[in-house]
Amino acid sequence: MEGNSFSRRGFLLQSVVGAGGAWLAAAWPGVLAAQQHAHHTMSAVAAGAPAKLEYFTPAQAADVEAIASLIIPTTDTPGAREAGVVYFIDRSLRTFAADQQKPFAEALALVDGKRKERFSGSADFASLTTAQQTEILKAIEDTPAFGTFQFATVAGFLCNPEDGGNRDMAGWKLIGFDHAPTHSPPFGYYDAEYVAEQAAARKRAKP
């Protein structure tokens, strides 16, 4: 994988060989079958029931959430943690991305190996300081494992909430994406300005 050096277009069209390699290579075969599951789970969350982990152990989930929170941290706005990214990943590994269980486990093992190497007395990744966690993530930044975490985090942060992530549309609100079923012109600043100028010009042209 060539990291950032391929073009955006190349990424979209060559998605299988693009960023997030292993994760994207999944055929996402059962994603539609998973829809009902995701709906069901999300409606439980919406009803105030606590979200449940179905794949990760609590310790694994804590590590995954710590990694996701480094990728999209909580700042003055919600991050991966508030958007429930760990629950999205947990569910997807049980359902439509089940064939990613092995690569995901390997990615976590790589992180854990680095932790033991660098911070031998530590218990797990989640209990390290943010500076220590950052050091480890930096060390694996150019590996396929990082791509796996990055894709899963971004997808969990910005997917349709019905797929189990982007809780309260935290990701969409952050980037200014209005998921309305229809829109009307003007759509943005420059076309609004253009249309206003055209109208003014027409008005001036009238005797």
Partner 1 sequence: MRKFSPSEEVDFVIVGSGAAGGVLAKELSTAGFRVVVLEQGPYLHEGDFQHNELRTVFQNALIIDWKRQPTTFRKTEQEKAHLQPALMYGRMVGGGTVHFTANYWRFHEIDFIERSKRGPVAGADLADWPITYADLEPYYTKVEWEIGVSGQAGVSPFDPPRSKPYPMPPLPIKSTGALLERAALKLGWHPFPAPIAILSKNYRDRAGCVHCGYCEGYGCEMGAKSSTLASVIPEAERTGRCEIRPESYAHEIRTDAAGRATGVAYFDAKKRENFQKARAVIVSANGAETPRLLLLSKSSQFPQGLANSSGLVGRHLMFNSGSEVNAQFEHPLNEYKSQVVTRVLHDFYELDPKLGFCGGGGLDMRFDQMPIGFALDGAPRDVPRWGAEFKAHIQRNFTRTAYVFCHATSLPVPTNSISLDPDVKDEWGLPALRVTYKDHPDDLKTCEYLVARAMELLDATPALRKWSWPVREQQFGVHLLGSCRMGNDPKTSVINSDHRTHDVPNLFLCDGSSLVTSGRGQPTMTIQALAFRAADRIVHLAKRGELGTPARPSRS
Query: From CA 176, how far away is CA 194, in angstroms rounded?
Result: 22
Would you say 49 or 191 has its CB closer to partner 1?
Answer: 191
- By C-alpha distance, which of 141, 57, 62, 53 is closest to 92? 53
Reported as type and span, the H/E element at residue 38 is helix 31-46
Under the criterion CB under 8 A, does residue 140 sit at the interface with partner 1?
Answer: no
Would you say 19 or 48 has its CB closer to partner 1?
Answer: 19
Asked if 109 contacts 148 with a C-beta cutoff of 8 angstroms, the reply is: no
Q: Which of 188, 203, 204, 205 binds partner 1 (CB under 8 A)?
A: 188
Q: Which of 181, 201, 205, 206 binds partner 1 (CB under 8 A)?
A: 181
Asked if 161 contacts 39 with a C-beta cutoff of 8 angstroms, the reply is: no
Cα–Cα distances in angstroms (integers) from residue 202 to residues 67, 152, 187, 189, in the given order: 56, 51, 21, 20
DSSP calls for 58-114: HHHHHHHHHHHHHHS--SSS--TTTTTHHHHHHHHHHTTTGGGHHHHHHHHHHHHHH
Q: Which stretch binds partner 1 (CB under 8 A): 39-47, 111-119, 120-128, 155-163?
A: 155-163
Q: Which stretch binds partner 1 (CB under 8 A): 57-65, 100-108, 119-127, 176-184?
A: 176-184
Q: Which stretch binds partner 1 (CB under 8 A): 22-30, 44-52, 54-62, 106-114?
A: 22-30
Q: Which stretch binds partner 1 (CB under 8 A): 4-12, 50-58, 103-111, 121-129?
A: 4-12
Minimum CB separation of residue 56 from partner 1 in Å reads: 20
| Contact track, partner 1, 101-120, x by CB under 8 A | --------------------
Copy the structure tokens of residue 133: 């966690």
Under the criterion CB under 8 A, does residue 28 sit at the interface with partner 1?
Answer: yes
DSSP calls for 160-197: -GGGT-SGGGHHHHHHT----S---S--SHHHHHHHHH
Under the criterion CB under 8 A, does residue 200 sit at the interface with partner 1?
Answer: no
Under the criterion CB under 8 A, does residue 201 sit at the interface with partner 1?
Answer: no
Residues near partner 1 (CB under 8 A): 4-20, 24, 27-28, 31-32, 70-73, 75, 77, 79, 96, 134, 137, 141, 150-151, 153-155, 157-160, 162-163, 171-172, 174-179, 181-191, 193-195
